[in-house]
Structure 1
């Protein structure tokens, strides 16, 4: 409590000291006026009574009026218009005007202070000490009463604030910010009530216990009004930097940092507020306007030096805080803005302080209240913008998470929402920044927001922007709904089960068509909404389309053929087809072409205009057709029996049992070939299984024929040596391999014996 008492007295001590000196000014000013007025009146009377002097005065006045009409000022040379001066000369005039203004203010202050405290020997006392003491006592009594009542009510309200702080810290999740905002608003209401009760107490004491009953003195009224405004401003500061209650602080600051900035702003508000709202008016009323302006200048200079010093001392600390805050944001725009603010925040603060000081120097009578009100409005608008942005961030700034059941039914919906929601959040945040900027410009008189809003252009712009937002949101909602419905139909775990290949193809094409249609219609509606006549655009698009149609007949043929291929269900994704002379799996189907992957893995894009015939191997059912040759010496019926046995074994295999649709079909002998008798069989299978079934059946046929000793012939060669004219065959000089080996052994044996005898 002592700390709060010291902070409050810091703002009012100056008012008490200066008020004591100011109360003496009317007495001295009255004495000076009594000394100078009789001499001036007597001189004027003498001039008017003397006819010659009167005529001379009239002539001089007429000459001065004529000179003023010619030159614009009596005795002043013709000066160039400010609009015609160059920029350096205008800057020089402004600087010299500032210097002259400051010099005049200081001279006035010095003269007034000298006149108050300096008296000539033999003069009467400049003021009544008894009246001064009584006025100072009454004012001091009111000040002490108001301050004591304020701290008493704050002490009584402490449990209320502490309980609100505890409630605020219990919130979590997306409702935490809303909960904090509501509780802080409730605490601010209690703070305002405390200030109001202290203000009413001071009024009651000043009205019924001090001075005449039922009336307020000027000094007391000035202090009470200043107290009310300043303490309300401090209540607003406490909403942001509540140092004693962690749960009632809007800004995310540590307790020691919040206490530091709350103490700085409270001191600055008390010093400037009580000085400008209490001391300066009191000085201007009892001394002169120049004296009041001089005191105000001194107060603003002191406040400027103090505030600038604090800003420079905390330049690095605040910069680090902004940088650390930027790292917590996932949005690139927010990070960039916070990093820029970290680098230039002190420059902006000092620039604002300089502007306030210069405005005080130029127009001290009416500019300072305007600056204070504009500053208060700007802070309110910025705080409201930050609050709304924070609330929006609670709902749109985080990743959307769906329930497991919804993710199972619509696996792509969560990804789609997380792609669109951040964009919507950025747009909303941009709109908030623009609106806050317009309100701030309006508060400083740089932009008439209310006038612009009520104008035709403003209403049209806002209405158009709202309509555009609604159209975009509606189009986005329609696209998400249709895409989710298509995704639901394509999902084998939901809907009516696994979709057919035709359904997959048509739904995929329908999704692309829906995207193109929604985009085109939305673009047309938006262009019409913003005032662009789309009639010529549609006509031009039609002419352009006709020209493109003539120039791109191949493309048109591709599209038309592709439409009929899809309508006739000639192929679907996953089918094995032959199109354009290429056989492969159809991996991708568009309205213009088909992508085929052949057996070697090569991917082919076949335009539909080059497709004359589509051979689809995946429709309804398929056949494995096999021809098996046996030797001429084998029994055909026995071979057929073993072919059926191989099929029965294949049908018993669980891997292929479901793929066989009918029993083995034996067509019979199809050819008596050069080396074999060919028997044809046909196996009916599910589409796509004919190749696997054929390979498995060939394996079993080979095994059964081998087990039964049935020969699968290979090519035979007959050697013909010819014959003589008489029909006899010529001798064939043939040697068997075994005979050749024996002869070679006999030839080598005598040579080895001779070598042995020689040894």
Structure 2
């Protein structure tokens, strides 16, 4: 009882402290009125005061008090969450729209406010004479800075000029090295210009002119030139052999031009807003930032629409092996870019409706757009790195070649997922979505963070999915290459009996299917749980389905279990020719519950494992082929034996067959004598799947050798003894009828037993 009272004390104190706003509580004692039973919690609530209160209450009264506090706290949290959600919806719709209409309403203030800023500036620099002095100072300052930059450019002229080269013989590393070298020198030149202008300005300029000169030098001269240097690095308008993106020279020059003017607009926006703030006109007063942002976004949409074909070409890249999905993504990319620009503009309006101008101080919207609009460059870099970093093809043949190309595509997909995750993390950092900021942010920030975490979890899941697929597929390709088995190049309509794949190549596709399914289910549940979706009903539903399968699909369970034991026993492999209860065919595909056999005439038989009584495998390890030849009674068996031996030795020297023989073709002597002639048998041992071509060649060579030796194959004859023939008389009608009857009887016997001569 003591422990229970202590636990209630601690719980009561914690609840009172967490509620914060509730310092009084009332409990109804049995048989009393509310006024008589009102209990006032002491303030402050110390341990002694809690002990005194609990000593006056029964256990049921304490439980009732705790339940009241829990209900009150839950109600307050629900109301706060509901208020947060409704607040976010308001700012995302009505609030953002008011951020658009307010600048329109304040449009007259824009002119008066800007006039005020210029008037205050003129008064501060001393009017028209001060403006003339400012222009003179700028000429001096920027002239000295330009001279310093010119000296640096003369010293590094060899680094800035790209040497002519053959694009087909240049590696990606060499291209990036030379482009980075030029970019570095251009960036250093601009930095020298800005630093020299800043230093000289602070030295010779009056204090009231220093901020203006710095704004002009940094934002209107330095920033656009840095942006232009980056554009030259990406598009190489004058050096197509160094161009990283797949565009024409005309498009590259135009895109560099527009990149420069976009940077000018960005720099002017930053400079004018700082200028106005320094001269007594805050940014929120005239909403000049809205009009500058709108102008920039409209300009971007126009550029994207005008050069949409170039953007599609950039997204496709230089790789000729573009998949249909990559082609569709490339065609959709300009539309994605336009939607992105419009969406970023609307997000800015949402942030403005929150009056969170500090978040926009670092221009996260422009950083986000720049990162996403240069997605073609990132994709080109990924494909280039994969093309130059993928190991050489292992082995030879169609299987190895397909595995090599599949590996390259997998590396590209893995690279894209990694870059996608890094881009998401960078965007989250741009918008200040750190764990500390999210903990104190509103519903909108938490929702955005949940979406980003959802995408990151899916990215990790897909990365693991591709990594497992790459590992298993590489093992599968190695096994198939080593065994020489390729299911895609198997002869269609052949006789069957060919060698199949290895045991590992048969099991690996099933392992791949299981691993992929497990990864998809696990990471999908993790991602859904991360965004607040309760996955317990899904797991319960899966359990119910499993229970239903266990009770209602016993045959399915039997098939699966039987298939497991067949695979453990290595009874068959993919590509082997087997017989299952009278059904023959090549094992074309296996699944968890059944196998598919393709007959050499085309039909496909699907056989559940649970219905297989036994399996006869005709393709395991080796094959013995026995051939029968019927020759006349007067033939010499020894002569035929020598002929067979000679043919066997000759075939061992034929390049097409010499690797397939395990034992040469030779004679087994006279097998039997029937009513036609002597049956002589020959045999050979070879690898599975090669016996039919060898048999055909042996038939051709035996036929030619017999013809050369004067040996005829025996034929069935019908002899009819007629007394009239012995007396030299001509055939009568009765004799002819007897001959026809005997021939008919012999033919019927042949039809009734067609395999007699071949056994």
Asked if Structure 1 and Structure 2 have the same fold, meaning a TM-score greater than 0.5 normalized by the shorter chain, the answer is yes
Equivalent position to 1:644, from 638, 645, 652 = 638
Give the CA deviation at 1:196. 0.6
Query: How far did residue 149 of structure 1 move?
Result: 1.6
Corresponding position of 1:520: 514
Q: 2:161 aligns with which of 163, 166, 173?
A: 166
Is 1:152 matched with 2:150?
Answer: no
Match of 2:669 in 1: 665
Could you tell me how far 1:503 is from its partner in structure 2? 11
Find out whether 1:102 has 2:101 as its counterpart. Answer: no
Match of 1:755 in 2: none
Q: Deviations over 1:507-533 (max 9, x none)?
A: 444312122124324544665566589
Aligned to 2:484: 491
- For the pair 1:199 / 2:198, whether they are aligned, the reply is yes
Q: Deviations over 1:140-179 (max 9, x none)?
A: 4432322212222232233356433324776833222465
* Alignment equivalent of 1:228, drawn from 215, 218, 231: 218
Aligned equivalent of 2:24: none
Q: Do the aligned partners of residues 249 and 357 (structure 1) sit closer, same or farther apart at CA in structure 2, a change above 3 Å counting? A: farther
Deviations 1:180-231 (A, max 9, x none): 245414431332122111211111113xxx5xxxxxx233344335533444
Name whichever of 530-539 and 373-382 sits farther off.
530-539
Please state how far the C-alpha of 1:621 moved relative to its aligned partner: 4.5
CA distance in 2, matches of 1:226, 1:307: 19
Contact 1:161 1:187 in 2 (8 A): no
Q: Aligned-pair distance for 1:490?
A: 1.0
Match of 1:745 in 2: none
Q: How far has the Cα of 1:716 moved from its partner? A: 3.3
Per-residue Cα deviation, 1:314-333 (whole angstroms, up to 9, x for no partner): 67743453355456563556
Residue of 466, 471, 482 corresponding to 1:478: 471
Alpha-carbon distance between aligned partners in 2 of 1:83 and 1:694, rounded to the nearest angstrom: 86
CA distance in 2, matches of 1:382, 1:572: 46
Name the Cα RMSD after superposition: 6.3
Q: Choose from 371, 392, 414 the match for 2:382.
A: 392
Q: Evaluate the alpha carbon distance shift between residue 603 and residue 526 of structure 1 in structure 2; reply closer, same or farther with a 3 A threshold.
A: closer
CA distance in 2, matches of 1:711, 1:150: 109
1:715 match: secondary structure: coil
Cα gap change, 1:720 to 1:419, in 2 (>3 Å):
same
Q: 2:717 aligns with which of 714, 718, 722?
A: 714
What is the number of residues matched between the two proteins? 583
Aligned: 1:321 with 2:326: no
Aligned equivalent of 1:22: none
Residues 16-64 of structure 1, C-alpha deviations (whole Å, 9 max, x = no match): xxxxxxxxxxxxxxxxxxxxxxxxxxxxxxxxxxxxxxxxxxxxxxxxx
* Rounded Cα–Cα distance in structure 1 between residues aligned with 2:547 and 2:209: 82
The residue number in structure 2 matching 1:219 is 209
1:239 matched to 2:229? The reply is yes
Kept in 1, the 8 Å contact 2:316–2:327? The answer is yes
* CA distance in 1 between partners of 2:681 and 2:613 (Å): 30
Which of 395, 405, 409 aligns to 1:422? It is: 409
Distance 1:221 1:419 in 2: 58
**Residue 714 of structure 1: SS of its match in structure 2?**
coil
Question: TM-score, length-normalised on structure 2?
Answer: 0.57
Assess if the C-alpha contact under 8 Å between 2:316 and 2:330 holds in 1: no
* Greater C-alpha radius of gyration: 1
User: 1:656-687: per-residue Cα shift (whole Å, max 9, x none)?
Assistant: 7768666663468x67xxxx696565545446
CA contact (8 A) 1:164 1:183 kept: yes
Question: Per-residue displacement from partner, 1:352-395 (whole Å, max 9, x unpaired)?
Answer: 789989999998xx959936733553465447756543321212
Unpaired runs of at least 5, structure 1 = 1-81, 118-126, 211-216, 494-500, 631-638, 722-731, 739-759
8 Å CA contact retained: 1:588, 1:596: yes
The residue that corresponds to 1:66 in the other structure is none
Q: Is the 8 A contact 1:562 1:593 kept in 2?
A: no
Alignment gaps of 5+ in structure 2:
1-86, 441-445, 487-495, 527-534, 653-662, 734-759
Q: Equivalent residue of 2:363, what SS?
A: helix
Which range is displaced more, 462-471 or 352-361?
352-361
Mark the CA change 1:157 to 1:269 in structure 2 (over 3 Å): closer, same or farther: farther
What secondary structure, in the 3-state scheme, does the structure 2 residue paired with 1:412 have? helix
Give 1:373's match in structure 2, choosing from 342, 348, 363.
363
In 1, Cα distance between equivalents of 2:429 and 2:481: 51
Is the 2:120–2:279 contact (alpha carbons within 8 Å) kept by the matching residues of 1?
no
Mapped to 1, the partners of 2:104 and 2:606 lie a distance apart of 85
CA distance in 1, matches of 2:178, 2:329: 27
Q: What is the deviation of 1:232?
A: 3.6
Aligned partner of residue 478 in structure 1, secondary structure? helix
CA 718–593 in structure 1, closer or farther in 2 if over 3 Å, else same? farther
Q: Kindly state the Cα deviation for residue 485 of structure 1 after the two structures are TM-superposed.
A: 3.2
Residue pair 2:676, 2:716 contacting (<8 A) in 1 also: no
1:277 paired to 2:280: no
Q: CA 1:698–1:239 in 2, change beyond 3 Å: closer, same or farther?
A: closer
CA contact (8 A) 1:227 1:274 kept: no
User: What CA distance in whole angstroms lies between the structure 2 residues aligned with 1:627 and 1:167?
Assistant: 83
> How far, CA to CA, are the matches of 1:83 and 1:433 in structure 2?
27
Question: Match of 2:188?
Answer: 189
Structure 1 pair 185/332, CA: closer, same or farther in 2 (3 Å)?
farther
User: Using a 3 Å threshold, how does the CA distance of structure 1 residues 514 and 240 change in structure 2: closer, same or farther?
Assistant: same
Residue of structure 1 aligned with 2:504, choices 510, 518, 534: 510
1:120 corresponding residue in structure 2? none
Q: How does 1:40-119 map to 2 (within 5 A)?
A: 98=103, 101-104=106-109, 106=111
Once residues 431 and 736 of structure 1 are traced to their aligned partners in structure 2, the CA distance between those partners, rounded to angstroms, is 98
Structure 2 counterpart SS, 1:665: strand
* Equivalence map 1:318-357=2 (5 Å): 318-325=307-314, 330=322, 335-336=327-328, 339-340=331-332, 342=334
Using the TM superposition, name which of 246-255 and 262-271 deviates more: 246-255
Find the partner of 1:412 among 391, 395, 399: 399
CA distance in 1, matches of 2:421, 2:640: 82
Once residues 341 and 266 of structure 1 are traced to their aligned partners in structure 2, the CA distance between those partners, rounded to angstroms, is 22
Q: How far does the alpha carbon of each residue in 1:322-348 deviate from its partner, in whole angstroms, 9 at most, with x for none?
A: 355456563556655554564687797
